[in-house]
Amino acid sequence: MFENRFKSLTIPRFTLPGFVATVGNKLPQWPHALALTAGLNAVVKMKLLAEDSLNLLEGRTFLIDVLDTGGRAAFTFRNSLFRPLFTAPETPDLAFRANLSAFLQLAARQEDPDTLFFNRELSIEGDTELGLIVKNMLDAMEWPSFPSMPAFRH
Amino acid sequence: MLQQKLPELVCPAGSLPALKAAIDHGADTVYFGYKNDTNARNFAGLNFDQKAMVEGIQYAHARGRQVLMAINTFPQPGRETDWHRAVDGAADLGVDAVILADVGLLDYASKRHPSLRLHLSVQGSATSYEAVNFAHREFGIRRAVLPRVLTLAQVELVIKNTPIEIEVFGFGSLCVMNEGRCWLSSYATGESPNTVGACSPAKFVKWEKAPGQMNTRLNGILIDRHNDKEPAGYPTLCKGRFEVNGSTYYALEEPTSLNVLEMLPEIVKIGVSAIKVEGRQRSPAYVAQVTRTLRAALDELGRDIDHFKVKPAWQAELGKVAEGTQITLGAYNRPWR
């Protein structure tokens, strides 16, 4: 299991120094969106995400805002693929904002999003129900055991 | 050595990974529900479809653990068959018990599936031994989950006067403690746990960010306002701040989680059969954290109940995941009667 591989690795809570965001804000943002959507699409292709939930994302716009790196990724979901948006929408349907450490803790399933929300380390703006759909879809995802993953198949 | 058996640790599962996390971290029993309004955590994208249920039950049973299915909302007029079908489905799946709240549904289940074990849900709002014994006599329930409004002495009184098992809440988000009878969510949104299976449904919730503050609105009603550092809770009416006689404060209930670690020995001594963890809406990470903490505490208590001491690490772990990052003993140690 994915989580088990990283069991010994605990991600601490940290905030990057202010200049990182100052520099990050000036960098082009599309590479973040490109990398994130490529990752998400790989997960879609492996059919790890519930289809009924995915259908509810059709045409909606998303923004992931990493506050302490100044990195932002805007994307949408159309025709079964996550697609980067090269100009971020002014009011995305859903925006998650947090520091890098919180996003890493979420990705490693080390912390629960509600915990981060209660602690004010994660903010959710826009369509709250859409946020819940995304959260629950990711929670329900089961990482296959590694031998069955494409890279291990021969 | 402990005189009586340790209480069963009953943990929540809103998804298959959460169920596995509960089992892997020491739950004796897990509870889950269908992806519809037959259970009180009917949130978008949460819960189990048939395939996940089959796999979850296999996973639990293969490890000698039990699975309960919550069908704990109230059948809506004209749609009773949806709830009957859920009970039939649970019986077919081979769950170890169903958790029901509605007397009509208890009647249906007891007649249609006489061998299906029935638990009375907290939503059934049975706060006295008379109410518990009524459900036992009429429908053959084997366990009742008590609402979080009772003091420990009152819980003991129920246990002494009933032949069935009593389950109490051990950890989790605390609401206004009026389970099964609360209409606050309906007052604000027209929808409530009893009717649609969700308190303050997400579609009515809006968090508005402004520099230095966050406004929480439920169906347009401003229910709370936080500065950037203030811990937050779930966006329910009972945990909003209101102006009462000129001061603005949490007039009904603070955002907080129940945590019984401090009184675990008393809970065991009075003969509680099972301790429930709230939180099917939460992620596998939470389920793992809370389950392993309570498992460690219960095991420690099983070794020597008279010298049981709460470890600071347990409190820290539970405090971190608590709503509003606050914990309370709730009604258990209140002086009221």
Does some domain include residue B189?
yes
Could you list the mean pLDDT of each consecutive 10-residue stretch along chain B, which spans 337 residues? 80 97 98 97 95 98 98 96 98 98 98 98 96 98 95 96 98 84 93 93 94 94 93 92 93 90 96 97 96 98 95 95 88 77
Does some domain include residue B199?
yes
Q: Are residues B30 and B101 in the same domain?
A: yes
User: Do A75 and A43 form a contact (C-beta atoms < 8 A)?
Assistant: no
Q: Are residues B107 and B204 in the same domain?
A: no
Does some domain include residue B1?
no
DSSP state of B146: P
A-chain CB neighbours of B255 within 8 Å are 118
* Pairwise CA distance, residues A25 & A66, whole Å: 10
Place of tokens 């080390």: A110
Among chain A, residues having any CB pair with chain B shorter than 8 Å are 50, 53, 56, 109-115, 117-120, 123-125, 128-129, 131-137, 139-142
A-chain CB neighbours of B17 within 8 Å are 109, 139-142
Q: Are residues B36 and B94 in the same domain?
A: yes
Return the residue of A nearest to B321 by Cα: A115
Q: Are residues B163 and B237 in the same domain?
A: no
Beta pairing class for B213-218 and B205-210: antiparallel
Q: Are residues B166 and B260 in the same domain?
A: yes
What is the pLDDT, as a whole number, of residue B337? 63
Does some domain include residue B293?
yes
Report which of A72, A99, A71, A96 is spatially closest to residue A14, judged by C-alpha positions. Answer: A99
State the first-to-last Cα distance of chain B, in angstroms, to the nearest integer: 33
Q: Are residues B235 and B287 in the same domain?
A: no
Q: Are residues B226 and B261 in the same domain?
A: no
What is the pLDDT, as a whole number, of residue B124? 95
Does some domain include residue B149?
yes
Pick the residue with more confidence: A5 or B239? Answer: B239
* Pairwise CA distance, residues B43 & A135, whole Å: 11
Place of tokens 């298959």: B16
Are B202 and A132 within 8 A, CB to CB? yes
Query: Model's pTM, two decimal places?
Result: 0.93
State the complex-level ipTM: 0.90
What is the pLDDT, as a whole number, of residue A4? 47
Count of domains for chain B: 2
Q: Which domain holds residue B212?
A: 184-249
Does some domain include residue B202?
yes
Using the predicted structure, report yes or no on whether residue A79 has a pLDDT greater than 80.
yes
Are B207 and A124 within 8 A, CB to CB? yes
**Interchain CB contacts (distance < 8 Å): A and B:** 96
What structural domains and CATH numbers belong to chain A?
2-6+18-143 (3.30.1050.10)
Return the residue of A nearest to B35 by Cα: A52
Residues above pLDDT 90, as percent of chain A: 63
* Pairwise CA distance, residues A123 & A98, whole Å: 7
* Pairwise CA distance, residues B148 & B126, whole Å: 11
What is the pLDDT, as a whole number, of residue B179? 83
Determine whether B51 is exposed, middle or buried from the number of CB atoms within 10 Å of its CB (0-12, 13-18, 19+). Answer: exposed
Using the predicted structure, report yes or no on whether residue A25 has a pLDDT greater than 90.
no
In this complex, which of A124, A133, A140 lies closest to B16 when CB atoms are compared?
Answer: A140
What is the pLDDT, as a whole number, of residue A13? 87
Q: Are residues B264 and B201 in the same domain?
A: no
Tell me what the pLDDT averaged over chain A comes to. Answer: 86
Report which of B264, B270, B238 is spatially closest to residue B329, judged by C-alpha positions. Answer: B264
State residue B48 phi and psi, 5-degree precision: -115, 135
Domain edge (last residue) among B230, B249, B268: B249
Are A120 and B228 within 8 A, CB to CB? yes
Q: Are residues B93 and B200 in the same domain?
A: no
Q: Is B182 annotated as a binding residue?
A: yes
pLDDT in tens, A96-107: 999 999 999 998
Q: Are residues B38 and B118 in the same domain?
A: yes
Q: Is B11 annotated as a binding residue?
A: no
Q: State which H helix or E strand residue B185 sits in.
A: helix B184-189
Q: Is B238 annotated as a binding residue?
A: yes
What is the pLDDT, as a whole number, of residue B3? 57
Report the residue of B46, B218, B229 to disrupt the A interface, i.e. the one with the largest count of A CBs within 10 Å. B46
Using the predicted structure, report yes or no on whether residue A116 has a pLDDT greater than 50.
yes
Are B232 and A53 within 8 A, CB to CB? no
Domain at B263, CATH number: 3.20.20.70
Q: Are residues B12 and B131 in the same domain?
A: yes
Among chain B, residues having any CB pair with chain A shorter than 8 Å are 14-18, 43-46, 52, 201-203, 205-209, 214, 226, 228-233, 255, 281-286, 289, 320-325
What is the pLDDT, as a whole number, of residue B300? 96
Domain edge (last residue) among B201, B230, B249: B249
- Determine what percent of chain A falls in helix, strand and coil, rounding each to the nearest 5: 45, 20, 40
Domain edge (last residue) among B231, B249, B267: B249
What is the pLDDT, as a whole number, of residue B306? 94
Q: Are residues B165 and B268 in the same domain?
A: yes
Output the CA angle B202-B320-B30, nearest 5 degrees.
Answer: 65
* Pairwise CA distance, residues B258 & B291, whole Å: 14
When pLDDT is cut at 50, 70 and 90, the band that residue A152 belongs to is very low
Are A113 and B283 within 8 A, CB to CB? yes
What is the pLDDT, as a whole number, of residue A143? 78
